[in-house]
Amino acid sequence: MIPYGRQDISQADIDAVVEVLQSDFLTQGPQVPLFEESIAGYTGAVHAVAVNSATSALHIACLALDLGPGDWLWTSPITFVASANCARYCGASVDFVDIDADTGNLSLPALEDKLRRAELANCLPKIVVPVHLSGQSCEMAGLAELAARYGFRVIEDASHAIGGRYRDAPVGNCAYSDITVFSFHPVKIITTGEGGMATCNDAALAESMRLLRSHGVTRDPSLMTAPAHGPWYYEQITLGFNYRMTDLQAALGLSQLQRIDEFIPLRHAVADRYDQALADLPLKLPRRMKDSYSSLHLYIVRIDTADSALSHREIFDALRERGIGVNLHYIPVHTQPYYQQQGVEYDPLPESAAYYREAISLPMYHHLGKDQQEQVIAALREVFGQPE
């Protein structure tokens, strides 16, 4: 089976991890701050806080922005459940904004419409989480204008999007948001095994997230309530978690980051090849918007159900039978049993529903071989009865 995504581990990556294993620190050593500095440098953000997953990063980002019971977080339903769960960890409620049909990202017109209604009902969101689906940035400038007008904060779920750019600047620089979150799960652009990062430009937010990722414990005298009793002294000043990244993971991340600017153009070459080879099939190919340079985490096609003799499910099954590890990103989150049990009456989200009836993620990773990609293309053409 050709998978839809796969990590690429080099000898240099292995050597970097082994070197940490032979060193004094497996965790809380020098590698994590080095990785943080490198991600800050790469994205242009002032601060970067490493954690053990993007899910943890989303959680502490919400806490740092004071999300709590009685508050609302809005996101788009075409995402992984973690984009919404972060609000529930904080006791806040979640509502969903429909997607843009071309990009699968949160629709700004739908958001504006929902904000207008929420203002009248006095239930505006405290946080909106735009998800950069498949690595293509949302329209962040327009979103930032709405954030200023309606007074909400913005956390970018850029789990797919490290290496992507928006308006010629790296995703993660937080020019239009409070915090950006990245994932380093093995299927993502670069990996640390498990791992995540939150970037921001605000020192207080970064400080707060650093405390929350490590038990709420500090050794910084300026944050303590009492003078130190001695050199052993630390204080717990808030309730935090153990969300720390290990030095093994950070070393892997540092090594992977050195190759990211090779990975992304290779992903674009894979996408270009799909664009050409699939153009005449009854498929909607992914639109690449002019304001953003996608990291191309995913290559999502949509079945033109009106034009295709086979159903979505039949096409999906036929591809899997031919050894093509297609997938579906994602099941609309608000339809999950857990979110159906929340007692929230969600708006109809017709674009998300249409997306779910049509979307298929094709294999997409930078080292997908030419032969393998030809296999994917041949299988698709065969399934549609249009062999090359």
Looking at the Cβ atoms of 197 and 349, the one nearer to ligand PLP is: 197
CA–CA distance, 301 with 321 (Å, rounded to integer) = 18
Binding status of residue 159 toward ligand PLP by CB under 6 A: yes
Beta bridge partners of 48: 199
Q: Which is nearer to ligand PLP, 297 or 380 (CB)?
A: 297
CA nearest neighbour of 159 among 134, 192, 182: 182
- Which of 32, 49, 94, 131 binds ligand PLP (CB under 6 A)? It is 131
Residue with tokens 């970018």: 156
Q: Of the ranges 38-46, 75-83, 218-226, 260-268, which one interacts with ligand PLP (CB under 6 A)?
A: 75-83
> If you search the block for the tokens 């979103």, which residue do you land on?
143
Are 157 and 130 a contacting pair, CB within 8 Å? yes
The Cα–Cα gap between 59 and 86 comes to: 5
59: contact with ligand PLP by CB under 6 A: no
Stretch in the footprint of ligand PLP (CB under 6 A) among 20-28, 74-82, 117-125, 223-231: 74-82
Provide the CB-side half-sphere exposure for 2 (13 A, CA).
Answer: 22
Q: Please, what is the minimum distance in Å from the beta carbon of residue 200 to ligand PLP?
A: 17
**Smallest gap, in angstroms, from Cβ of residue 345 to ligand PLP?**
25
Cβ proximity to ligand PLP: between 79 and 294 the closer is: 79
**Residue 83 binding ligand PLP, by CB under 6 A:** yes
Told to judge if 284 belongs to the known catalytic residues of this protein, a careful annotator would answer no
Tell the smallest beta-carbon distance from residue 155 to ligand PLP (Å): 11
- Give 62 or 131: the residue with its C-beta nearer to ligand PLP: 131
CA angle (303 as vertex; 189, 99 as ends), nearest 5:
60
Tell me which H or E stretch contains 197: strand 196-200
Smallest distance from ligand PLP to CB 183, Å: 3
- Give per-residue burial for 126-143: e unless 16+ CB within 10 Å, then b: bbbbbbbbbbbbbbbeeb
Residue pointed to by tokens 């779910």? 356
- Within 9-167, residue ranges assigned H as helices are 11-21, 31-43, 54-64, 82-89, 108-120, 140-150
d(CA 176, CA 139) in angstroms, rounded, equals 10
Q: Please, which residue, 301 or 333, has the CB nearer to ligand PLP? A: 333
Can you tell me the distance from the alpha carbon of 203 to that of 353, in angstroms, rounded to the nearest whole number? 40
Question: Based on CB atoms, which residue is closest to ligand PLP, 189 or 315?
Answer: 189
30 exposed, middle or buried (CB, 10 Å; 0-12, 13-18, 19+)?
Answer: middle
Size of the site for ligand PLP (CB under 6 A): 14
54 sits near ligand PLP (criterion: CB under 6 A): yes
Is residue 213 close enough to count as binding ligand PLP by CB under 6 A?
A: no
User: Do the beta carbons of residue 196 and residue 52 sit within 8 Å?
Assistant: yes
Smallest separation, CB 120 to ligand PLP (Å): 31
Q: Which span (48-56, 211-219, 251-259, 312-320) binds ligand PLP, by CB under 6 A?
A: 48-56
Nearer residue to ligand PLP within complex by CB, 104 or 196: 196
Shortest distance in whole angstroms from residue 361 CB to ligand PLP: 11
Judged by CB under 6 A, which of 126, 160, 210, 213 binds ligand PLP? 160
Q: Which one, 224 or 328, has the nearer CB to ligand PLP?
A: 328
User: How far, in Å, CA of 169 to CA of 187, rounded?
Assistant: 24
Helix (H, G, I), strand (E, B) or coil at 144: helix
Q: Which stretch binds ligand PLP (CB under 6 A): 39-47, 53-61, 305-313, 340-348?
A: 53-61
User: What type of residue sits at position 131?
Assistant: V
Is 183 a binder of ligand PLP (CB under 6 A)? yes
Catalytic option among 114, 126, 188, 370: 188
Work out whether 339 is an interface residue with ligand PLP (CB under 6 A): no
Hey, what's the torsion of the CAs at 88, 45, 153, 339, to 10 degrees?
A: -30
| Residues of span 138-157 touching ligand PLP by CB under 6 A | 157
Q: Which residues bind ligand PLP (CB under 6 A)?
A: 53-55, 79-80, 82-83, 131, 157, 159-160, 183, 185, 196
Residues serving a catalytic function are 188
